[in-house]
Structures are given as C-alpha cells and as structure tokens.
C-alpha cells in the first residue's frame, strides 16, 4: 500500500514549516514540500492580482503531485505538504486538489490542522527568521490581523484529522503527534 499524503493546513505563522522540518528529522523518508516551494516560483513571475497567477499556482501544484505523489518511484514515501487554505477565495477547491491527488495515487489522505493563539501568531509572523528567510512569507501584521479576523481555515469532512494548537508546544512535540497520527491511520 502507498504511504500517506499528510496535508498540514494553518494560518501564516502557525508553525507549519517549522513543525514539518521537525517531522522530516523524525523520519528522514518523509518528503516535505513547503507551500512556498510552490508559491515563490509563481510569485517571481506574476503578482497575486494578475489573472495568470492562480492558473500558474495550480500548474505548480500539479507538477508537484506528478513528481512526488503520483510517481511510482515515491509511493513508499510519506509526502507532507504545508499549506494555508481558507473556506473562501477558492480555498476548498485548492485543498481538494491534494485530496484528489492522494486518491489517484492510492494514498491515505491525512489532514492536519495547526493553530495558535492570535498574539503568538502575530509574533511568529514577524520573527527575524521569517522576515529574513528569503521567501514571500506573510510578515505584515496588519494583513495577518485582517486574515485572522475574517478567514476560517478550511477543514475536511470524512477524513480522520488531527488538530494541534501549537501555542505552547515545542515543534518537536507537535511533529511527534503528527508522526503518531500518521502511523495510527496508515494501516
């Protein structure tokens, strides 16, 4: 049986990449694909307001699915995607692309939802590491406050899911919870 696809969804600054890196350290066979590996190449060519932006983002996701999720060469590897999709602005449709890729590959789809206290969220989003990380990660407190106020993170129904509040947990602890969840639901 193919290894699962773990989809980690959470607001910017919730700790998705930090936790995913810890998860990769716990099990080096896991392939970690940070959402900015898929976003930044597109943002280098198009601004979010351009009509080409969303189709290019979809194309980048489909390329990653073909290479890592659907390829027979990687079916034995657990694939972990970090993401932020809300219940608006096409978020459910994008999230369902991950679910569909897992289904096509015969992989178990395991959604993980990371959250944290809004104050911690804002602090993390403005951290030196994030601000100087060389990606297009959101670091503007006003924009993040607006997102936190008006958006709801997308959640799947019909799949076992794991909810983790990362506010007072070390990234390694959260990663271990995800690993345990993955093992429990991979059989």
**Can you give the residue ranges of every domain in the chain?**
5-185
Sheet holding 5-10, edge to edge: 31-33, 79-83, 5-10, 109-115, 162-165
pLDDT of residue 126: 64
pLDDT of residue 95: 96
- pLDDT tens per residue, range 115-127: 988 787 767 666 5
Mean pLDDT of 28-51: 90
- pLDDT tens per residue, range 140-185: 666 656 666 777 789 999 888 999 999 999 999 999 999 999 999 8
Nearest Cα residue to 134 out of 69, 37, 29? 37
pLDDT of residue 116: 85
Topology at the third CATH level for domain 5-185: Rossmann fold (3.40.50)
Bridge-based pairing state of the strands 162-165 and 31-33: unpaired
How far is the C-alpha of 88 from the C-alpha of 138, rounded, in Å?
18
pLDDT of residue 141: 63
Choice between 138 and 160, residue whose per-residue pLDDT is larger: 160
Mean pLDDT of 68-96: 94
Structural tokens at position 115: 């959250």
How far is the C-alpha of 152 from the C-alpha of 113, rounded, in Å?
12
Q: Looking at the predicted structure, is the pLDDT value of residue 138 above 60?
A: no
Q: Which residue in this structure is represented by tokens 């919730």?
A: 14
Mean pLDDT of 50-67: 95
Bridge-based pairing state of the strands 31-33 and 79-83: parallel
Nearest Cα residue to 134 out of 33, 39, 62? 39
pLDDT of residue 173: 97
How far is the C-alpha of 109 from the C-alpha of 57, rounded, in Å?
21
93-132 in b/e burial notation, b at 16+ Cβ within 10 A?
ebbeebbebbeebebbbbbbbbbbeeebbbebbeeeebee
How far is the C-alpha of 50 from the C-alpha of 68, rounded, in Å?
28
What pTM, to 2 d.p., does this model score?
Answer: 0.89
Choice between 9 and 137, residue whose per-residue pLDDT is larger: 9
């Amino acid at each position: 049986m193919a290894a699962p696809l773990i989809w980690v969804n959470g607001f910017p600054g919730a700790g998705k990449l930090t936790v995913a890196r810890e998860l990769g350290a716990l099990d080096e066979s896991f392939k970690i694909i940070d959402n900015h590996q898929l976003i930044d190449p597109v943002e280098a060519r198009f601004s979010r307001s351009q009509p080409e932006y969303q189709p290019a983002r979809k194309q980048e996701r489909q390329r990653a699915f073909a290479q890592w999720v659907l390829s027979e060469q990687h079916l034995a590897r657990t694939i972990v995607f970090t993401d932020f999709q809300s219940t608006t602005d096409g978020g459910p449709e994008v999230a369902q692309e991950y679910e569909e890729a897992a289904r096509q590959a015969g992989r178990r789809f395991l959604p993980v939802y990371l959250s944290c206290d809004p104050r911690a969220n804002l602090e993390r989003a403005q951290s030196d590491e994030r601000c100087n990380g060389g990606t297009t990660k959101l670091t503007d407190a006003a924009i993040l406050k607006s997102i936190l106020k008006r958006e709801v993170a997308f959640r799947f129904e019909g799949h076992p899911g794991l909810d983790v509040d990362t506010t007072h947990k070390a990234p390694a602890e959260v990663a271990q919870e995800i690993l345990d969840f993955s093992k429990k639901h991979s059989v």
